[in-house]
Chain A
Amino acid sequence: MSAIQHHSQPQPELAVGADQLLHFYRQMLLIRAFEDKVNEAFLRNLVFGTTHLCQGQEAVSVGAIACLRQHDSLTYTYRGHGQVLARGMAPEVAFAEIFGRETGCSRGLGGSMHLADLSLGLLGSFAIVGAGLPVALGAAISAQLDNRGQVAMTFFGDGATNIGAFHETMNMAAVWKLPLIFVCENNLYGEYSPILWTTPYEDLARRAEAYAMPAEIVDGNDVVAVYSASMRATERARAGEGPTFIECKTYRQRGHSRSDPAKYRPAGELDYWLERDPLKQCEARLQSGFAVQQEKFDALRAEVQQQIDTACEAAAEAPWPEVRDLGPESLVEVRA
Chain B
Amino acid sequence: MSTASSNPVEMTYREAIIAAQRAELQADPRVMLMGEDIGAAGGSFKLTEGLQAEFGKIRVRDTPISEQAFIGAAMGMAMTGYRPIAELMFADFMGVAFDQIVNGIAKHRFMQGGTLELPLVIRTVGGAGARFGAQHSQTGESWLLSVPGLKVFAAASPNEAYHLIRAAVRDPNPVVVIEHKFLFTRKGPVQVFDGVVSLVEGPRQLREGRDVTIVASLAMVERIQSAAQQLEAAGISAELFDMRVIRPMQPQAIVASVRKTNRLLVVEENHSLGGWGGDLVSTVVAEAFDYLDAPPERLTLPDWPVPYSPALEDAALPSVDRITATARAMVEGRGR
Binding site for B on A (CB under 8 A): 73, 75, 104-110, 114, 116, 118, 123-124, 126, 128, 131, 133-143, 145-146, 152, 164-165, 168-169, 171-172, 175, 326, 328-332, 334-336
Closest chain A residue, CB of each to CB of B75: A135
* Chain A residues, CB < 8 A from B23: none
- Residue interface mask B104-120, A partner, CB < 8 A = 1: 10001111111111000
| Given A118-B112, A329-B110, A134 and B79 contact (CB-CB distance below 8 Å) | no
A165 and B69 within 8 A (CB): yes
CB of B209 closer than 8 Å to a CB of A: no
* Chain B residues, CB < 8 A from A133: 69, 72
* Chain B residues, CB < 8 A from A332: 109, 117, 172-173
Closest chain B residue, CB of each to CB of A331: B173
Can you list 17 contacts pairing A with B, beta carbon distance less than 8 Å?
Answer: A109-B111, A110-B112, A116-B112, A123-B80, A128-B99, A133-B72, A135-B76, A138-B79, A164-B68, A171-B64, A172-B64, A175-B64, A330-B110, A331-B149, A332-B173, A334-B198, A334-B199
| Given A106-B115, A137-B69, A168-B64, A331 and B77 contact (CB-CB distance below 8 Å) | no
Q: How many residues of B contact A (CB 8 A)?
A: 44
The smallest C-beta distance from B82 to any residue of chain A, in angstroms, reads: 6
B68 and A128 within 8 A (CB): no
CB of B73 closer than 8 Å to a CB of A: yes
B173 and A109 within 8 A (CB): no
B113 and A106 within 8 A (CB): yes
* Chain B residues, CB < 8 A from A141: 32, 73, 76-77, 82
- Residue interface mask B22-38, A partner, CB < 8 A = 1: 00000000001000000
CB of B214 closer than 8 Å to a CB of A: no
A123 and B113 within 8 A (CB): no
Set B71, B79, B103: member contacting A128, Cβ < 8 A:
B103
> In the assembly, what is the distance between CA of A134 and CA of B72, in Å?
5
> In the assembly, what is the distance between CA of A128 and CA of B63, in Å?
23
Set A108, A116, A137, A328: member contacting B76, Cβ < 8 A:
A137
* Chain B residues, CB < 8 A from A110: 111-113
B79 and A118 within 8 A (CB): yes
A146 and B81 within 8 A (CB): yes
Closest chain A residue, CB of each to CB of B66: A168
8 cross-chain pairs, A with B, having the tightest CB-CB distances, nearest first? A138-B76, A134-B72, A329-B114, A168-B69, A138-B73, A107-B113, A142-B80, A168-B66
The smallest C-beta distance from B294 to any residue of chain A, in angstroms, reads: 34
* Chain B 68-92 interface residues, beta-carbon cutoff 8 Å to A: 68-82, 84
- Residue interface mask B272-288, A partner, CB < 8 A = 1: 00000000000000000
Set B82, B100, B109: member contacting A330, Cβ < 8 A:
B109
> In the assembly, what is the distance between CA of A136 and CA of B72, in Å?
8
* Chain B residues, CB < 8 A from A142: 76-77, 80-82
| Given A142-B82, A334-B171, A336-B198, A134 and B75 contact (CB-CB distance below 8 Å) | yes
The smallest C-beta distance from B115 to any residue of chain A, in angstroms, reads: 7
CB of B298 closer than 8 Å to a CB of A: no
Set A73, A124, A138: member contacting B78, Cβ < 8 A:
A138
* Chain A residues, CB < 8 A from B70: 134, 172
CB of B58 closer than 8 Å to a CB of A: yes
Closest chain B residue, CB of each to CB of A176: B61
